[in-house]
Amino acid sequence: MTAVLSVVFAVCAAVSNALGTVLQRRAALIVPQSVGFRLGLMWDLLRTPVWLFGILGVVFAAVFQALALATGPLAVVQPIFVLELPAALMIAGIVFRRRMPALGWIWVACLVVGLGTALAAAAPGGGSLQPAVGLWVLALTSCGGAMVLLCVAALRRPVGGTRAVCLGLAAAIGYALTAALMKSATDTLDHQGVAAFFGAWQTYGFAAVGVCSLFVLENAMQAGPLVASQPALTLGDALISLSLGVTLYNETVRAGWWLVPEIAGVGLVALGAVGLSRLQILPQEGGEPSRPPTAEPAPTSRPTSPRESASALPASEPDPEPAPPTHG
C-alpha cells in the first residue's frame, strides 16, 4: 500500500509541476527579456499573475513530492517525473492553443510504456534512511560543480535551443539534489519531530538548492522554447535522481538478465522524449509581443525575443490558422 501511495503522489507531483512549468514559460514571454542572468527577472515575474499561478503549481508539486519521498525510495519517485514532459506538452497545447499531433500520442505511449517497463524490471528498493556525511560532500560538490559549468556554458551561447538545454540540464541537477536533500529532511521530520527537522542542515539545504534551481529554470524558459528545455529537465532529473538514490541512499536495482528490459525501457523513454521534443505543437508561444531586453541592446543580427529565435515555427512565416485547444 505504501508503494502504491508513493507512485500516486509522484504522478500528482509530475502533473502539478508540468502545469507550473507551462504557466512559468508563459510568464517568461511577458516580462522584459535579457541576454544574461538578471536578478530583476524574479521581481518582474512576481508582478505577473500567471507566474504566481505557476508557482502555486510548483508548491503543490513540492508537497506531493515530499509525500512520495516519505513513502518510497528516491530511485522510484524521481524517475516518475519523466511523465512531466508529456503532461507539460499537453497542457502547453491548451495554454498556447495548439492541438497535440497524432504522432505525439505515439511518443507519449512510448514514454509511458518505457517508464513502466524500466521501473518494473529494475524494482528499486531498500536503501538507508540517512546517507553518510562523506557521501553528502561528494554529492554536493559534484552536482554543484556540474551546475556551475553548465550555466557558464549556457551564457557563452546565444539565445536558442542549445542555451535552453544547458540551463534545463543545470536545473535538472539542482532539482535532483533538492529531492535527495528533501528525502533526508522528511525522514528527520518523521522520526525525530518538528524541532529536529528545523535543526537539520538538509532542511535549509533543499530550500537553498531549490530556490537556485528555480532561478536557473526561469532563465532556461527565457533562453529558448519549452520543447528544448523540458526534455533536458525531466530526463536529467530522473536519471540523476536514480544515480543519487543508488550512490547516496544505497538503494538497489535488479541486475543480470533484468538489464535487458531495463535498457529497452530506457530506450523507449528516450525515444518518446526525443520525439516529443521535436513536435511543433506550439505557435509563436504567445499572442502578444514581448518587451525588449533590458540588460543591453541586442545586436541587429540577433532577435530581441526568444519567440523570434526559439519558436518551433519560422518567424518569417505567418502563423497558421490556430487549431482548437485540446480538452482533458
Number of C-alpha atoms within 13 angstroms, CB side, residue 184?
Answer: 24
Q: Is residue 275 part of a domain?
A: yes
pLDDT recorded at residue 295: 42
DSSP state of 101: P
Q: How many CB atoms are closer than 10 A to CB 33?
A: 23
Q: Is residue 190 part of a domain?
A: yes
DSSP state of 160: S
**Number of domains the chain contains:** 1
Of 149, 185, 186, the closest CA to residue 167 belongs to 149
Amino acid, res. 312:
A
Q: Is residue 303 part of a domain?
A: no
pLDDT recorded at residue 198: 92
**Residue whose grid cell is 539565445:** 159
What is the domain range of residue 41? 2-284
Q: How far apart are CA 137 and CA 301, in angstroms?
A: 45
> How far from each other are the two terminal CA atoms of the chain, in whole angstroms?
28
pLDDT recorded at residue 34: 55
Q: Is residue 106 part of a domain?
A: yes
Cell of 292: 525588449
pLDDT recorded at residue 149: 94
- Torsional sign, CA 312, 318, 321, 325: positive
pLDDT recorded at residue 1: 58
Q: Is residue 289 part of a domain?
A: no
Task: List per-residue pLDDT tens for the chain, 328 residues long.
Answer: 566 788 888 889 888 888 887 787 676 666 565 545 555 555 666 666 777 788 888 888 888 888 888 888 888 887 887 887 788 777 877 777 777 777 888 888 888 898 888 888 888 877 777 888 889 999 999 999 999 999 999 888 887 778 888 898 999 999 899 989 998 998 898 888 889 999 999 999 999 998 898 888 878 877 777 667 777 877 788 888 888 888 888 888 888 888 898 889 888 888 887 787 676 544 444 444 344 444 444 444 444 333 333 333 333 333 333 333 333 3
Q: Is residue 41 part of a domain?
A: yes
Prediction pTM value: 0.67
Q: Is residue 294 part of a domain?
A: no
Q: Is residue 147 part of a domain?
A: yes
pLDDT recorded at residue 286: 42
